[in-house]
Chains A and B, each alone.
Chain A
Amino acid sequence: MSEVPAELKYLSTHEWVLVEDDVATVGITDHAQELLGDLVYVELPETGTTVAAGDSVGVIESVKAASDTYAPISGDIIEVNSDLEDAPDRINVDPYGDGWMYKMSIEDAEELENLLDADAYSESIADED
């Protein structure tokens, strides 16, 4: 069973969001990394880019497949985890910690209401199986 920390918000497309003041940190879930298998390449958005909720902002590639990753909310990309460039497998090892992908500003806090809580996300992945 994959880990779904209670304090995070989620997208049904398997991104997690950690909200701290006016900054959101985004990564992909434990369930997503399990589905993808060993990751070998991560393409992250560029710092400074403005994105809208639902935009494709990067690509995560495992040995077997490539998968888009989507912005959970609207805002500006303020920092990316450049360590992933040489060590994409950090996402496999620690998806909620060292494997974070980027931090972004929160343009409209109301958009956070559209995200799933841990229970709802757990349910959505249980339906998948």
Chain B
Amino acid sequence: MPADPYQTLGVKKDASQAEIQKAYRRLAKKLHPDLNPGNKQAEEQFKEVSAANDLLGDAQKRARFDRGEIDASGAERPRQRYYRDFADAGTSNPYASDAGFADFAGGDDFFSEIFGRQARGNIRRRGQDAHYRLALDFLDAINGGKQQLTLPDGSVLDVAIPPGTRDGQVLRLRGKGMPGIGGGPPGDALIEIEVRPHRIFTRKGDDIHLELPISLREAVLGGKVKVPTPSGEVTMSIPKWSNTGSVLRLKGQGVSRPNGSRGDEYVTLKVMLPERPDPELEKFAAQWHPATARNPREAMGV
């Protein structure tokens, strides 16, 4: 049952048409949904006030209502749309205005990021990543350190090489890529590492492999020899009767791992005869008839 339209408009039964119009306009200006975008109740109240005005604002309808010929029901006028329903829809609103907050967007802080994003319509973007290649000497990659990369524009980028860097590894330098768009953060520099081969060392995973020439005398009698490693030379004991192909392990002399441990160095022995013919050795070999002599090619069946 609709409320009494006189009560809705707050006028007396004998109010003049001018008074009714004045009361309606006063209420409607306060209650119009588009002037109260966040107030859901305003729409219901505005409907009631509009319906009351439709009835009482028209002198003929009002007279029939006063005589009891019509009642207040059915007088509601269907309302199809309010501006607020479209204006609040966000970016699709062509009448959108940032004038109410444009002055907040000047600084460089949290708020300007949000307001700026609104004002510029989301063109704030992170810069692109830049891709570079850097060739490293074998030992520089294993031991790590600072390297300089000269960029195409002539500027120089300091690159920290972590110890144990591998061939093909990509280092990421945050914020060293292309500048951002519309105040967005810069991209990253991605540096692909190429490691040049070494004259004597080869790398397998975190281990270093090395072929170590030893003399015949060292092979037969054993002894201490100096061995190169990526971090310098160390002394290693060769057991007696170490043949070509024997592999000795130097624990912890390989490549540093990120967790602080290290790989090993594997030393493959290679027995070397004296470079020049040695008459004494020839004489010895000629007289040497070992009791346990075996054919070293036995396994080949020849």
Do these two chains interact?
no
